[in-house]
């Protein structure tokens, strides 16, 4: 069945992979993106594109009035943890405030389903335990808090207005479309995997790892690297549940890899050494964040396909080799 979907932030990293998944499934897709951090070239052929900011409420009303929309997927957000600790009000306004405006507009225009790109930054350190949906929420950064307030707004939008929502708290998005149709291109780039790859390719100076004295096996931070294509499929998998209820899921592989293990994987896959040096800890970074995806797997049947770190690295490396200047190519 062909549905109509609106994707905010669909010109960004995860959003563009979501658009590909929707198009591959035969749906009609409209991307709404300000291009503040996204790229016009990331929007695939077949998707309608509207350049606009969520702060432009008249334009947002016009877009939503052109319904009906079977679901709104909300990816548009600022996402730099370090920056959020320097400019917390900017993050609360851009992610929280504009998220409230989008939710309110969806309610006014009769949208019934809403899928929200949330984050594992809601959680503090859980030690060496997997983080499930019952783990207490304790954001360690303004970025995490700005996502949390949107989750709370969605709770009330469901309770009062019947807007069913899925909040997907995913961990470290990584990799690129296996067919090479979309990739990762942040300006500036802050994600570990592409930074390690660029260091291996000689496109940047020695990589700095933030902290080598964490209480982890090798002293570096441990994260759950979930392939971006698997993430997109998880967003599709939750849609049938929204016919009956709102849901919240943690989305990951259930397996953690340290910063040093990512470096070693890039060296294995690329066949090149990675120059790096140790730096101080970064504010807001827990030592370990690894998801328990048991609940979403049980309730939807979804499961990650890319569970081998080497394969995730391979897709990221192939895209960066083919696009040395990102989407500017």
pLDDT for 329? 76
Four-residue CA torsion sign, 166, 171, 172, 177: negative
Q: Extract long-range pairs of 87-96: CB within 8 Å, 24+ residues apart.
A: 87/142, 88/142, 88/145, 91/142, 91/143, 91/145, 91/146, 92/142, 92/145, 92/146, 92/149, 94/146, 95/143, 95/146, 95/147, 95/150, 96/145, 96/146, 96/149, 96/150
Q: Which helix (H) or strand (E) holds 299?
A: helix 294-300
What are the backbone dihedrals phi and psi of residue 295, each rounded to the nearest 5 degrees, phi first? -70, -45
Distance CA 186, CA 327 (A): 10
CB atoms within 10 A of CB 110: 13
- H or E element, residue 13: helix 13-24
Q: 289: helix, coil or strand?
A: strand
CA distances from 96 to 78, 112, 242, 251, 276 (A): 10, 20, 23, 21, 36
Is 91 assigned a catalytic role?
A: no
- pLDDT tens for each residue of 28-54: 999 999 999 999 999 999 999 999 999
Indicate the SS3 state at residue 261: helix
Q: What is the pLDDT of residues 222-279, one digit of tens each?
A: 999 999 999 999 999 999 999 999 999 999 999 999 999 999 999 999 999 999 998 9
CA torsion sign for 323, 171, 142, 81 is negative
Q: What is the pTM of this model?
A: 0.95
pLDDT tens sequence across 235-245 = 999 999 999 99
pLDDT of residue 180 exceeding 70: yes
Question: For a pLDDT cut of 90, what percent of the chain falls above it?
Answer: 86
Give the whole-angstrom CA distance, residue 35 versus residue 7: 13
13, 91, 143, 170: which is the annotated catalytic residue?
143
pLDDT the model gives residue 285: 75
């Amino acid at each position: 069945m062909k549905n109509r979907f609106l994707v905010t932030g669909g010109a960004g990293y995860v959003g563009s992979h979501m658009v590909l998944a929707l198009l591959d499934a035969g749906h009609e897709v409209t991307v709404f993106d300000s291009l503040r951090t996204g790229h016009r070239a990331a929007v695939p052929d077949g998707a309608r594109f509207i350049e606009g900011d969520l702060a432009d409420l008249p334009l947002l009303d016009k877009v939503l009035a052109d319904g009906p929309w079977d679901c709104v997927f909300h990816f548009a957000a600022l996402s730099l943890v370090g920056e959020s600790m320097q400019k917390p009000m900017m993050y609360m306004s851009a992610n929280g405030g504009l998220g409230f405006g989008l939710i309110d507009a969806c309610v006014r225009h009769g949208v019934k389903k809403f899928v929200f790109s949330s984050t594992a930054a809601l959680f503090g350190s859980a030690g060496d335990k997997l983080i499930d949906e019952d783990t207490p929420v304790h954001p360690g950064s303004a970025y995490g808090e700005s996502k949390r307030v949107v989750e709370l707004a969605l709770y009330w939008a469901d309770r009062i207005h019947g807007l069913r929502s899925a909040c997907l708290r995913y961990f470290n998005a990584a990799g690129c479309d296996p067919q090479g149709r979309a990739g990762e291109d942040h300006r500036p780039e802050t994600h570990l995997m592409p930074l390690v790859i660029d260091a291996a390719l000689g496109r940047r100076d020695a990589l700095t790892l933030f902290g080598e004295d964490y209480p982890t096996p090798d002293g570096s931070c441990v994260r759950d690297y979930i392939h971006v294509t698997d993430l997109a499929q998880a967003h599709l998998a939750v849609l049938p549940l929204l016919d009956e209820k709102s849901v919240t899921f943690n989305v990951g592989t259930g397996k953690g890899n340290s910063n040093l293990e990512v470096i070693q994987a890039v060296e294995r896959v690329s066949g090149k050494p990675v120059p790096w040096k140790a730096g101080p800890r970064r504010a807001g970074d827990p030592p370990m964040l690894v998801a328990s995806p048991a609940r979403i797997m049980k309730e939807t049947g979804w499961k990650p396909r890319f569970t081998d770190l080497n394969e995730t690295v391979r897709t990221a490396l192939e895209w960066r080799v083919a696009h040395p200047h990102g989407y500017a190519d």
